[in-house]
Amino acid sequence: MNARVGILGGTLDPIHCGHMAAAVAARDAFDLEKVLVIPSRVPPHRPVQPIASPFQRFAMAALAVSGVDRFEASDDELRLDGPSFTSDTLDRQHARGLSASQIFFITGADAFADIATWRRYPEVVDLANFVVVSRPGYDIGALAAKLPALAGRMRTAADFRGDDRKPLIYLLQAPTPDVSSTVVRERLAGGASVSGMVPPLVAAHIQQHRLYSVFARANQLHDEN
């Protein structure tokens, strides 16, 4: 097996155009055979749990990837109880026959800056290649200084040759929209438009099910719809 598989994980509450732009940039830069978009069931780093249910977040992920070449939504983390840890997700990919060098875990530079807080650090960076995508307002070039223990493993995307046996950390400078799930939720709670911030099918789903409105209750979303 020589396939290269991308993984975009996270709370995705909701998935937005910044997520998709980062994943598309990674797909194209590393010629990924497919990109799995995997919403977490229970995000371990958030003190407050997601507003949308896991099933609604999966539905939005599925709508976001609809028609996007080589993208698919995965319920890999939703079928398991307890917190969703990246290391466990990568372990399951290994159990399915993928090597660490075949997996490309896609994350934003701001999230990767906190990787020392992730479960099984530093082992987790041995489980896959990490594609760290630039974020508006965050200097991707500052990561080496912030994470000196990992600096020797950092490369630019242009350095990728496809024959590295040891997983590396690739810094990918790519234009991505200046949007966050927090801002999307705040705008929706205030009744403002999120046009251009989330994929159109996601926007329609949010409107149809009144997600993130001041009247929404996360524990009712799936059962009522």
pLDDT in tens, the chain (225 residues): 579 999 999 999 999 999 999 999 999 999 999 999 999 998 887 667 899 999 999 999 999 999 999 999 999 999 888 889 999 999 999 999 999 999 999 999 999 999 999 999 999 999 999 999 999 988 899 999 999 999 999 999 999 988 888 999 999 999 999 999 999 999 999 999 999 999 999 999 999 999 998 655 444 444 444
Residue 144 parent element (H or E): helix 143-146
Write the Ramachandran bin of 191: left for phi over 0, alpha for psi from -120 to 50, otherwise beta.
Answer: left
Predicted local distance difference test score (pLDDT) of residue 219: 41
* Top-level class of domain 5-178: alpha beta
Write down the pTM of the prediction.
0.92
Contact 16, 123 (CB under 8 A): no
Predicted local distance difference test score (pLDDT) of residue 20: 98
Predicted local distance difference test score (pLDDT) of residue 221: 40
Predicted local distance difference test score (pLDDT) of residue 45: 72
**In the chain, domain spans:** 5-178
